[in-house]
Structure 1
């Protein structure tokens, strides 16, 4: 009889106690990503997404016009100084390693980078300010740049594209670590028929010509990893060879001298355009070369050409998660009034990553283009829920007259 009386209390305890335990920070940290993974696994089995779809109506094969490089110099009667030869190897003392939390490679890698300069925080110091929800799977380069400028302003920073193996070695030999974003394989079956491709940050801290390898700090795989020059360039190309530099203000003249014309952001993109044009000519089967060409064309507002480049990349085939990290196709199809392609890619990207702040914003803009202002605002608010510290949702809401 007493057991019967206590049974409702036991039921309540069985329901409430796990909920209370889940709120303990270290328990939540360990369980949250596993629950999220389970949701992804189940969702992908119930609604398989397949490969990234080809364009609805592909543009005709684009003609590639190679532009002059912004680094081209007129003939000069004054002989140019011979560059100082690089040492055959150079290895910086790495900062204390930071093993990333779930979906936290950007903040973890940046934490190691800042730590190199004596900063005392960790990855959560950063993620609390730019992506406080661990299920947020992407941090863009400009979000990391924003953190440095607003929270570590005693350091200088910039990011550029179109890096090269030689440039990386020059920076390292000058005592400057470099953070890159690149493709990465994690062989875990998150999705049905998963291609395992993801984006990932790495902090380069050395190179060795004898082995032909870079030494880098990897928040997922561990400290002092090694990767061959050609292999790094292959993965790095998948992100337009973007790199971030953090340095003390007294090193600015050194950085400027090493970057040369690429110190100027416009000239840098011009050079990136030339690189992409040359690569699609020499390797027209390379989807990433076409994608990079499209990204650089978007930068210069050449949306028709960009749409054609993205069409080619899609026809060749791109990784399933490409649109989790890079959003150039949304810009191109939006500005060329290719609404069907825009909606198709937004739907696909959200099927892969339902809480993608960036893609939710693009769904909002797609709805805005169709004249559905209230629905657009609702999508912007969903993006804000996905990342309460978003640097993008406030301006989007304000532009439609809504309160951020």
Structure 2
């Protein structure tokens, strides 16, 4: 990552239109807020129908948000992992707000995934200025002040994932800041090494996330065997956590273990993990888990059960392409 250009000790970008999310609408709302900086005039009611055709869908993935930007606006977008606070500050100082995906301990609800739009920082206070769709005071230009340490800690829960939206004519600036991280393979290699170093410097829940991140990065590098072993270690740490500390919704948001276990032939592990995720949900609006359970059932010879799960996946996310592709292959209408 480039660090050659000095940046100011504080900055706050203006022009973002804050909005409080409606129920279960974090991703669509944060995407709309980030787009508003670049003059986009829509809101969460414009983003949500395309990002989550079923209003009860539990999660919007970063790739889905990126697809919206590419298909519905004249802006460009890049999604990367393994970020750090210095990189965030470089982008903000250059005039680019950044969407981050992070964990959140939300009162009695427990651990959930969350997005935030970061639009400023202040080294003297040690904080980022965040536009948050759930909490914070946003009148008179105020933002939610998030300490650097808190961002780093909770951002780890999602592999330090960041989404950057930019006009096409500013691509050179973005790539200059990214440096080697422009290349996806280099990015996952870097993030895998970052996670590996963290594993041996952390404990408890933070170590769980570090192991999980290592698995996710190896999965994207198609080292499914290495990824599966990393996820195994993550789940060992998870089992030792106090129940109230467990991020039990993890598979709602990050489905890497399904890939790793499926592509190493561990179909029963996929089946059991997906079933557990579906059963534990207050409402099983989890198209990815239904899809992966269907794949596992099919691999184990339960074709009828697989078809049923593919169809259920589409009930929760109409138009979910992976499930449609499998049903087309099987010659089944939907």
Q: Same fold (TM over 0.5)?
A: yes
Does 1:183 pair with 2:103? yes
Matched residue of 2:291: which SS?
Answer: helix
| Equivalent position of 2:52 in the other structure | 131
Q: By how many angstroms is 1:128 displaced? A: 0.8
Does 1:198 pair with 2:112? yes
Question: 1:228-285: CA deviations, max 9, x gaps?
Answer: 1111010001100000010111110000000000011111111111111211233365
| Equivalent position of 2:255 in the other structure | 327
| Equivalent position of 2:23 in the other structure | 102
**1:238–1:342 CA distance, 2 compared to 1 (3 A):** same
| Equivalent position of 2:183 in the other structure | 264
Q: By how many angstroms is 1:341 displaced? A: 2.2
Question: 1:298-353: CA deviations, max 9, x gaps?
Answer: 11221222111111111111411111111111111112222332222111100123
8 Å contact 1:205–1:215 — kept in the other structure? Answer: yes
Question: 1:20-43: CA deviations, max 9, x gaps?
Answer: xxxxxxxxxxxxxxxxxxxxxxxx
Q: By how many angstroms is 1:375 displaced? A: 2.3
Matched residue of 2:107: which SS?
Answer: coil
Over the aligned positions, Cα root-mean-square deviation in angstroms equals 1.7
Q: Give runs of aligned pairs for residues 173-252 of structure 1, distance below 5 A.
A: 173-189=93-109, 196-222=110-136, 223=138, 224-252=143-171
Does 1:352 pair with 2:263? no
8 Å contact 2:10–2:121 — kept in the other structure? Answer: yes
Q: By how many angstroms is 1:169 displaced? A: 0.2
8 Å contact 2:3–2:177 — kept in the other structure? Answer: no
Length, aligned pairs only: 318
Distance 1:374 1:147 in 2: 34
Q: Give runs of aligned pairs for residues 305-320 of structure 1, distance below 5 A.
A: 305-317=226-238, 318-320=246-248
Matched residue of 1:201: which SS?
Answer: strand
Does 1:111 pair with 2:32? yes
Instruction: Provide structure 1 residue ranges, at least 5 long, that are not aligned to the other structure.
Output: 1-70, 72-80, 190-195
Q: By how many angstroms is 1:129 displaced? A: 1.2
8 Å contact 1:102–1:135 — kept in the other structure? Answer: no
8 Å contact 1:130–1:390 — kept in the other structure? Answer: no
Does 1:85 pair with 2:85? no
Structure whose alpha-carbon radius of gyration is higher: 1
8 Å contact 1:94–1:205 — kept in the other structure? Answer: no
Distance 2:35 2:196 in 1: 35
Instruction: Provide structure 2 residue ranges, at least 5 long, that are not aligned to the other structure.
Output: 239-245
8 Å contact 1:131–1:390 — kept in the other structure? Answer: no
Distance 1:246 1:386 in 2: 28
Does 1:382 pair with 2:312? yes
Q: By how many angstroms is 1:174 displaced? A: 0.1
8 Å contact 1:131–1:389 — kept in the other structure? Answer: no
Distance 1:278 1:134 in 2: 39
Distance 1:373 1:361 in 2: 13
Distance 2:97 2:231 in 1: 32
Distance 1:142 1:204 in 2: 19
Does 1:171 pair with 2:91? yes
Q: By how many angstroms is 1:221 displaced? A: 0.8
Structure showing greater relative contact order (alpha-carbon pairs closer than 8 Å, 6 or more residues apart)? 1
8 Å contact 2:30–2:133 — kept in the other structure? Answer: yes
- With normalisation by structure 2, the TM-score equals 0.91
Distance 1:82 1:113 in 2: 24
8 Å contact 1:130–1:389 — kept in the other structure? Answer: no
Distance 2:24 2:120 in 1: 26
